[in-house]
Amino acid sequence: MSQIQLGAIDVFRRFRAAIAALTVVALSLVACASSGVNKGDFNLVSYEEEWQLGSQLERDIDRQMQVLNDPAANAYVSRVGQRLVAQSELAQAPWGFHIVADPQLNAFNIPGGHVYVHTGLICAADNVAEFAGVMAHEISHGVARHGTEQLSKAYGANIVAGLLLGGSPPIYQQVLAQVVATGTFAKFSRDAEREADHLGVIYMYNAGYDPHGMVTMFQELIERRQRQPGSVESFFASHPLTEERIANVRAQIDQLPPRQNLVLRDAEYQDLQRRVSRYCGT
Ligand SMILES: [Zn+2]
């Protein structure tokens, strides 16, 4: 080991002594950063800052949106989420999975490993594989850090001061207000969508969920757009969804080695749907 590395470790030890808890998270995240998913991507927000931002947003979203507090429903959604996250490059990070009581077919990711799924989407997904398809896609936006990449592009060098200086800096307020009002964090590019689909299929397959669920869920969303455009407005505003994306996902699935016993349905998913059904609209 070189002297430079030893020096860095020494500094790191002192840092760890200062903020032990945060550093445990940062350490695992730094280890993950070398996995390749975000290599070379433009991002001015560090992992540590991103997770700090996520915690702050989570607290404020909890106050300002109708986040469901049903322990059994939350536990199941978290279980599906964790099973997918365990396949990802950020398996060791503290993720959070939340249900929003809202009839829209929507789901979104905010920085710092938080995924929100609306009750309307839970009711519309036919089975756990379709639900896992949306969850895997949102988790992938988080793993690939598309949210903070977007913020970095939009706000440049002011971004960290504008988000994290304590108090309520204006950029933070703007970001929070948008999430609360629209159920979207950012409008992602086609490239970001492609990456989230691609990673999502891998996480699903490795977690043992049938990745065709992502295909049929996307088809359902496109059909809803014809029948009931208002019910999927937020989803389409943040995730440009096209037939081309569906074709790409199918082609990727076709390349995967056959695997027995991929989960399509489970009884607990129907139980989740019953639990949230009063928030699903007509
Ligand atoms: Zn997306």
- pLDDT tens across 179-222, in order? 999 999 988 889 999 999 999 999 999 999 999 999 999 999 99
CA of 201 to the centre of ligand 1 (A): 13
Same domain, 149 and 18: no
Alpha carbons 16 and 48: distance in angstroms, whole number: 13
Same domain, 9 and 57: no
For residue 92, CA distances in Å to 19, 47, 65 come to 18, 13, 28
pLDDT greater than 50 at residue 14: no
CA of 19 to the centre of ligand 1 (A): 34
Sequence letter at residue 273: Q
CA of 21 to the centre of ligand 1 (A): 31
Same domain, 260 and 200: yes
Same domain, 113 and 54: yes
What pTM, to 2 d.p., does this model score?
0.86
Q: Identify whether the C-beta of residue 168 lies closer than 8 Å to the C-beta of residue 175.
A: no
Same domain, 111 and 185: yes
CA of 6 to the centre of ligand 1 (A): 41
Same domain, 28 and 125: no
CA of 188 to the centre of ligand 1 (A): 6
Same domain, 7 and 82: no
Q: Which residues surround ligand 1, an ion (CB under 5 A)?
A: 188, 193, 196, 239
Is the C-alpha dihedral spanning 245, 246, 248, 253 positive or negative?
positive
Structurally, how many domains does the chain consist of? Answer: 2
Same domain, 49 and 110: yes
Q: Where in the sequence is the domain holding 83, given as residue range(s)?
A: 41-279
CA of 27 to the centre of ligand 1 (A): 28
| 33-85 per-position pLDDT tens digit | 334 577 668 899 999 999 999 999 999 999 999 999 999 999 999 999 999 99
Sequence letter at residue 26: A
Q: Enter the tokens of residue 216.
A: 């049929």
Same domain, 146 and 17: no
CA of 197 to the centre of ligand 1 (A): 8
CA of 17 to the centre of ligand 1 (A): 38
Distance between alpha carbon 53 and the CA centroid of its chain, in Å?
14
CA of 191 to the centre of ligand 1 (A): 10
CA of 189 to the centre of ligand 1 (A): 8
φ and ψ of 179, to 5 deg:
-60, -45
Same domain, 101 and 157: yes
CA of 262 to the centre of ligand 1 (A): 24
Strands of the sheet containing 107-110, edge to edge, are: 96-100, 114-118, 107-110
Q: Tokens 């949102």 appear where?
A: 138
CA of 84 to the centre of ligand 1 (A): 16
| 90-135 per-position pLDDT tens digit | 999 999 999 999 999 999 999 999 999 999 999 999 999 999 999 9
CA of 233 to the centre of ligand 1 (A): 13
CA of 2 to the centre of ligand 1 (A): 42
∠ CA(276), CA(278), CA(279), 5° rounding? 75
**Mean pLDDT, the chain, integer:** 86
CA of 203 to the centre of ligand 1 (A): 15
Is the C-alpha dihedral spanning 251, 221, 239, 88 positive or negative?
negative
Same domain, 144 and 202: yes
Same domain, 153 and 183: yes
Least Cα distance to 124 among 1, 269, 12 occurs for 269
Sequence letter at residue 169: P
Radius of gyration for the alpha carbons in the chain, expressed in angstroms and rounded: 19
In the beta sheet, which residues pair with residue 98?
Answer: 116
∠ CA(135), CA(265), CA(209), 5° rounding? 50
Alpha carbons 126 and 265: distance in angstroms, whole number: 8
DSSP one-letter code for 117: E
CA of 107 to the centre of ligand 1 (A): 9
